[in-house]
Structures are given as structure tokens and as C-alpha cells.
Amino acid sequence: MTIVTKLEAPPQIARRKRVAAYARVSGGKDAMRHSLSAQISYYSALIQRRIEWEFAGVYADNPVSGTKDSRAEFQRMLADCRAGKVDMLITKSISRFARNALTTLETVRELKTIGVDVFFEEENIHSLSPDGELMLSILASYAQEESRSVSENCKWRIRKMFQQGRPNTGNMLGYRLKDGKLHVVSDEAGVVRQIFADYLSGMGKITIAKKLNAAGIPTKNGGPWLEVTVCKILRNVKYTGNLVLQKTFRQDHISKRTCINRGELPMYHVQNSHEAIVPRELFESVQQEFSERSKKYRPKAEQHPIAYPFTTLIICGKCGRHYRRKHNNAGTKYEKIVWICNTFNRFGKAVCDARQIPESILETKATEAGGLDGLFEIRVTGPGKLTFIYEDGRVAELSWKNPSRRHSWTEEMKQEARDRQNAILEGGGKRHE
């Protein structure tokens, strides 16, 4: 007699939904940074409290505008969604996700096609719900119009201040803006006067920056002194007690591109609006010195810079400056082309200790990441770490290291080393001086 034993199939364990959150603030002030930190903590706790959810992380951009598609964390989030790492996204509101209606709808529709739900807390909308897209279309357009309205109101307020001869910002060394007027900060004013005096004595902008860094004198924002920082001070007419208002303007509320005012809008010149730090005569002497030095070095300045494939693409994760191409040991057997942080190249590792990257390694890693087509930027995120960010949202994080020195030796170099060693042996083991 045959005995048949019936085996029950084990119950299927439902896979937990992988949930992530997206957070963003628009400004870089301390209060905004605290707000971003609070959002990250809130979403981390919210997701991890739900036993049916699996925490997939929080993506946070700070401080950038919601109208920009180049947000690094936003692009990394999209890349993870495309890679199947996320099932659902939570964000505070449509305006936090993006204030550009087209960007919002295109992104949500793409995520919908790959089965990723987006939940907007304030509007209480799930993008995968039947009426989700209709509501999103209406509310995203509203958010974009609200952004435009806020932008126009800010422009109107600032232009009214300019018409009254009042500056809209006082974020400059030597002054504090209080009650609509610039007031001198005495210790900072001394630094400004010294910069003007050093330049007229013959020192260059880079030399002045190095001197200030060596003396431990802080900049207005607490960062290192750079050539451009010194140049802005030497060119700023506010130090003479006069104002020139509306020298620049924002192109629109979407791109937020800053344009130089070349007659598109009125400019306002206000004389004796506040206490001067440097006399007008000294300021004019510095501007004349600028002109004289420019004439002296004009042949070099008029040469058009050569654009290489990685030009303007590589950004230092330590100081935020771009990398530039450098030819090390040109014309020698140790010749090598590298890309180096501008700050490190000019001021040394005391200001920024970012490592230089051989061009051959950059080319190899760019190929591994997906090529140069559509590449938005390359971020040097740490020693031996590169993050390639593409315009379509792809993100590739790659590691690199310098090859062993022996691998970089040519046959000629190896033969020279052998000859030197043989000469030492033939000479009785002593090196020839």
C-alpha cells in the first residue's frame, strides 16, 4: 500500500515596501539647515515606525532651488528609482519636490511607468491613485505660479529700495547692514585698508590671499582667501562711501540666472550714502593699477583658453572650486597630465588638500560611468571617490587609485635604472657622486 503525504506550501512572506523620502530647503542660512535636519529626522522616524515598510533612505538637497533640475540628491534619487531600489517616495509638498510644473509632471509620470508611487503629504496625493495626475497637474501649475508671484514681489521690493538709495544686502567685509544703512566694523575695516595698501605696494591678488590665510584672518563667510575674494574687495566701490545699485538682475524665476545689467534696467548711483573705509583717491589709484597691470599682461590674457573634454565639469568636494588641467614635468620622462583643484594649485594643501587626478584615470572612469555625452558634472567626493552626474538623472559613484609607480615606468626608464644599478655594483657597491 502506497502512503501519500500531503505537504502544505509554506505561506508566502510579503515583501516589505521600500520607502524613501525627499527633502529640500531653498536657503543656506542656519535656520534653513536646521529645517533640513529636522525633515531628515522626521522622515527617517516616520518610515521606520511602519513595520510593513523598509527604510530606503532620505535624499536631501541643501541649499538649492526647486526650479533646478541639476539637484544632485534629486538626480541620485531618480537613479535609485530607475535601478529598482525604491517602491515609494514621500515628500512634504509639490513645491518642495519642484516648482517647475513641467519638471514635476515629467518626473512623476516617469516614476509612474516604473511603478514608483510619490506621496505628497500636504496635498494628500498619491501619484499612482486614479485622480493623482489630474490633481498634480493643477497643483503643480499653481506652485509654479506661486513661485513666479513670490519672485515678482521680491523684485518689486528690491527695486523700490534701490529707488530710495537703500542697499538690499550688507554681506561684505568691513560693513554691517542695519536699518537699511551700512555701518563700519572697525576690525574688518582695517583688513580692507591693508588689502588696498598691499596691492598698491606691488603685491598681487594671489600673494595677498596667501598672506591673509597665513595670518589666520577669516573671510566674511569663514572660507579661505582666494584671488577672486581679494579682487571683489579691490573692485567694490562701496568702500568709498558710495553705492551703485542694480548692477545685476535675475533673468527669470525658473533659471534664476544672474545677468549683468547692461542697460536693461536702470542703475542708481548714491553718493555719500555711508561712512567710507578707503578714500576715493586711493580707490581710483587701485583701479588705475588694475588697468596698468592688465596692459602689461594683456598678450597672455587675450589668448583664448583651450577647452578640454573635462573643462568646467570637475568640482572639488572640499572647497567647491573647479578642477583644471595641468601638465606636470613637461618635456621630461616623468611627464604626466593631471586635473587639479584650482584652490590647491594656487594656495596649497593648507587651504584645500584635494588630490590631483591623472587624466588617463579620468578617461577610464568616465567610460565606465557611461561616457561624456549628457554628463552634467563630476564631483570629487573624497580621496579616490568620483561621482558622475548625468543630465537624465543617472548617477555613477566610482573609486580610483594611482597605479603602482613601477607600472608607470617605460622600458627606457627601466633600462636606465638597470644601468645605474650595474654601475653601482661595478664600482664596489658605492654610488657615484
Are 143 and 47 members of one domain? yes
Distant-in-sequence, close-in-space partners of 193: CB < 8 Å, separation ≥ 6: 277, 278
Are 135 and 244 members of one domain? no
In whole angstroms, give the CA distance from residue 56 to residue 53: 9
Residue 345 is predicted with a pLDDT of 86
10 Å CB burial of residue 19 (0-12, 13-18, 19+) is buried
Residue 102 is predicted with a pLDDT of 67
Q: For residue 420, what are the CA distances in angstroms to 211, 409, 429, 431?
A: 44, 15, 11, 9
Residue 284 is predicted with a pLDDT of 92
> Which of 267, 300, 333 is the last residue before a domain boundary?
300
Residue 331 is predicted with a pLDDT of 73
Is residue 407 included in any domain, yes or no?
no
Q: For residue 18, what are the CA distances in angstroms to 48, 49, 50, 109?
A: 11, 13, 11, 19
Is residue 46 included in any domain, yes or no?
yes
Is residue 410 included in any domain, yes or no?
no
Residue 68 is predicted with a pLDDT of 46
Is residue 347 included in any domain, yes or no?
yes
Per-10-residue mean pLDDT of the chain, 433 residues long, equals 63 78 71 73 92 92 56 88 94 79 79 91 86 71 68 72 69 84 90 94 90 88 83 90 76 64 74 89 91 70 65 86 87 83 83 89 90 87 87 82 63 72 65 47
What pTM value is reported for the model?
0.48
R_g over Cα of the chain: 29
Size of the chain, expressed as the number of residues it contains? 433
116, 60, 115: which is closest to 92 by C-alpha? 60
Sole residue written with cell 590671499: 209
Distance of CA 279 to the CA centre of its chain: 37
Please, what is the Cα angle at 391 between 94 and 309, to 5 degrees? 155
> Structurally, how many domains does the chain consist of?
3
Q: Which triple of cell numbers denotes residue 337?
A: 597630465
Are 175 and 221 members of one domain? yes
Is residue 393 included in any domain, yes or no?
yes
Residue 428 is predicted with a pLDDT of 57
Residue 192 is predicted with a pLDDT of 94
Is residue 197 included in any domain, yes or no?
yes
Residue pair 375/390 in contact (Cβ under 8 Å)? The answer is: yes
Are 198 and 321 members of one domain? no
Q: Residue 136 belongs to a domain with what CATH number?
A: 3.40.50.1390
Letter for the amino acid at 88? M
Are 285 and 330 members of one domain? no
In whole angstroms, give the CA distance from residue 314 to residue 292: 34
Are 100 and 170 members of one domain? no
What range does the domain containing 282 cover?
A: 164-300
Residue 348 is predicted with a pLDDT of 80
137, 21, 32: which is closest to 80 by C-alpha? 21
Are 183 and 269 members of one domain? yes
Residue 352 is predicted with a pLDDT of 85
Residue pair 17/87 in contact (Cβ under 8 Å)? The answer is: yes
Residue 301 is predicted with a pLDDT of 42
Are 132 and 103 members of one domain? yes
Are 175 and 142 members of one domain? no
Letter for the amino acid at 249? F
Residue 371 is predicted with a pLDDT of 87
User: For the chain, what is the HEC assignment?
Assistant: CCCCCCCCCCCCCCCCEEEEEEEECCCCCHHHHHHHHHHHHHHHHHHHHCCCEEEEEEEEECCCCCCCCCCHHHHHHHHHHHCCCCCEEEECCHHHHCCCHHHHHHHHHHHHHCCCEEEECCCCEECCCCCHHHHHHHHHHHHHHHHHHHHHHHHHHHHHHHHCCCCCCCCCCCEEEECCEEEECHHHHHHHHHHHHHHHCCCCHHHHHHHHHHCCCCCCCCCCCCHHHHHHHHHCHHHHCCEEECCEEECCCCCCCEEECCCCCCCEEECCCCCCCCCHHHHHHHHHHHHHHHHHCHHHHCCCCCCCCCCCCEEECCCCCEEEEEEECCCCCCCEEEEEEHHHHHHCCCCCCCCCEEHHHHHHHHHHHCCCCCEEEEEEEECCEEEEEECCCCEEEEECCCCCHHHHCCHHHHHHHHHHHHHHHHCCCCCCC
Residue pair 323/352 in contact (Cβ under 8 Å)? The answer is: no
Are 173 and 73 members of one domain? no
Is residue 230 included in any domain, yes or no?
yes
Are 284 and 382 members of one domain? no
Residue 46 is predicted with a pLDDT of 93
Residue pair 339/325 in contact (Cβ under 8 Å)? The answer is: yes
Are 114 and 170 members of one domain? no
Is residue 5 included in any domain, yes or no?
no
